[in-house]
Amino acid sequence: MPKDKLLTLKQREARLAYWFVIPTFIIVFGLVIYPALFNIWISFHEVTLGNLGESGAPFVGLNNYIRVAKDFLFRDALRATIIYSFSGSIFSIALGLSASLLLNRKFKGRGLVRAIFLFSYIAPVVSVAFIWKWLLNPVNGVVSWAMMSSNIWSKPIAMLSQRGWAMLIVILFQGWRYFPFAMLMILAQLQAIPDELYEAADIDGAGVIKKFFYVTLPELRYVLGTLFLLRLMWTFNKFDDIYLLTSGSAGTKVLPVLTYEFSFGMNHFGLGSATSMFLFMILGVFMIFYIKYALDW
């Protein structure tokens, strides 16, 4: 008798669990997993505005991929994506590291300062993108005025529409906006470093710099390694920031922006899917190598 009841309890528990989990599962499956697979399908078919609703889209094999790879914008987009992602990630982590070191000791008002450091991260991307555009306005912006009056520039430069400058700006923006994420993660780790390690270094006569390189950094290896992977992954796929700042002009047309243009600018969804698959595969390959290597950290 008791044995039956126990079984039923277990079953009941399992059934309850399913009820709890099913809605989430449906939403996530329906709106993430299924579309991801659907995307692969689309990339092998010619899907345009005309046949968006129908399943009768013609199969074109690798044609979309070939067209994308041969497209005059693809090479630049690939290069831009790689430069942007790597530089932006490194820069935001470097800034995050500096910020976390600054905040590591207690001081009056630290809580407030730390909160302010997060402003650039939590603010909506649209508003910060526009304020940056306004500040960088070549005719009326503060940056232009500062550069001109200190004679660094002889005539105003429209940074967001000039090759080279535009990439620099979006990388700076990336660092400015996302360093708080790195900062938070590093800070958490920093505060877990046992004091004994520093004391031991003191006894050995190590100065501040030595302590940093021989105690702090090694302890942070794992966090930094993970951070780089995460930031790289997210920056690789980033659309909003560049689209809002430059719309992809002046050499900043990264692959996500190109995907958007193919799909919603030219209405060639097959090409857009293929581009996003390129993005996915390139990132995937990198990540596999990185994790394999990083597992040795």
Partner 1 sequence: MKKSIILLLILMMVFTISIFSFAQKTVVEFWTTDNEKSRVDVQEELAQKFMQLNPEIEVKVIPVDEPDIPTKLATAKAAGRLPDVGRFGLEYVAGFALDELLDAKAATTAIADMGYTSFFKGALDLVLSPVDGTWAAVPIDGWVQGIWYRKDLFEEKGLDAPTSWDKIMGAAKAFYEPSKAMYGIVIGTDPGQVYTQQVFEPFALSNGVTAFDKDGNIVMNTPQMVETLDYYTKLAAYGPPGATYWREARQYYIVGQAAMMFYSPYIMDDIAGLVEDYKVTVTDLAKNTGFAPIIEGPSGIKASYGQLVTLGIFKGANTDAAIKWVQYLLGPGYVDILYMSPGGKVPVRKGVVSEWLKHKVFSLYDPKVVADVAGGMDLIQRWGFMDGKIVPLVSDVYGRKLIPIVVEKILTGDISPEQGAAWLQEQTEALQ
Partner 2 sequence: MNKIAKNQHIFGKIGIIASIFMFLLVILFPFYWMFISSMKGFSELFAYPPKFWPETFHFKAYWRVLFEEGFILYLRNSFYVAFLTSILNLMLACFGAYAIARLRFKGKALLMRSILLVYMFPGILLIIPLFALLANLGFVDNLNGLILTYLAQTLPVSMYMLAAYFRTVPAEIEEAGLVDGCNRFEVITRITLPLSVPAMASVGIYTFMIAWNEFLYALVFLYDSNKFTMPLGLVRLYSSYHTSWDLVMAASVIITLPIIVLFLSFEKYLEKGLVAGGVKG
For residue 155, state whether it binds partner 1 (rule: CB under 8 A).
yes
CA distance 240 to 89: 16
**Among partner 2, partner 1, none, residue 166 binds (CB under 5-8 Å by kind):** none
For residue 164, state whether it binds partner 1 (rule: CB under 8 A).
no
Pick from 216, 153, 165: nearest CA to 186: 216
275: buried, middle or exposed (CB in 10 Å: 19+, 13-18, 0-12)?
buried
> Given the rule CB under 8 A, which of 70-78, 139-147, 162-170, 192-200 is the region that contacts partner 2?
139-147
Q: Which is nearer to partner 2, 216 or 276 (CB)?
A: 276
**Among partner 1, partner 2, none, residue 138 binds (CB under 5-8 Å by kind):** partner 1
Give the residue ranges of DSSP H helices in 29-109: 34-43, 63-70, 74-103
Per-residue tokens: 3: 């044995």
**Among partner 1, partner 2, none, residue 249 binds (CB under 5-8 Å by kind):** partner 1
Q: Name the 3-class secondary structure at 294.
A: helix
How far out from the chain centre does Cα 243 lie? Answer: 14
CB of 114 to partner 1, least distance (A): 39
Q: By rule CB under 8 A, what string of x and - marks binding of each residue 194-213 to partner 2?
A: --------------x-----
CA distance 255 to 239: 9
**Among partner 1, partner 2, none, residue 244 binds (CB under 5-8 Å by kind):** partner 2
For residue 42, state whether it binds partner 2 (rule: CB under 8 A).
yes
Pick from 103, 261, 237: nearest CA to 174: 237
Region 40-99 residues binding partner 1, contact defined as CB under 8 A: 49-50, 52-53, 67, 71-72
Region 256-275 residues binding partner 1, contact defined as CB under 8 A: 264-267
**Among partner 2, partner 1, none, residue 176 binds (CB under 5-8 Å by kind):** partner 2
**Among partner 1, partner 2, none, residue 149 binds (CB under 5-8 Å by kind):** partner 2
Q: Which is nearer to partner 1, 103 or 160 (CB)?
A: 160
CA distance 204 to 168: 42
Q: By rule CB under 8 A, what string of x and - marks binding of each residue 99-138 to partner 2?
A: x--x----------x-xxxxxxxxxxxxxx-xxx-xx---
Q: Which residues contact 172 (CB under 8 A, 6 or more apart)?
A: 91
Region 222-281 residues binding partner 2, contact defined as CB under 8 A: 230-231, 234, 237, 239-240, 244, 256, 259-260, 263-264, 269, 272-273, 276-277, 279-280
| Cβ pair 80, 167 in contact under 8 A | yes
DSSP for 117-160, written as a single string:
HTHHHHS-HHHHHHHHHHHT-TTT-HHHHHHHHTTS-SS---GG
Place of tokens 């996530």: 28
Q: Which residues bind partner 1 (CB under 8 A)?
A: 49-50, 52-53, 67, 71-72, 138, 155-158, 161-163, 247-250, 264-267
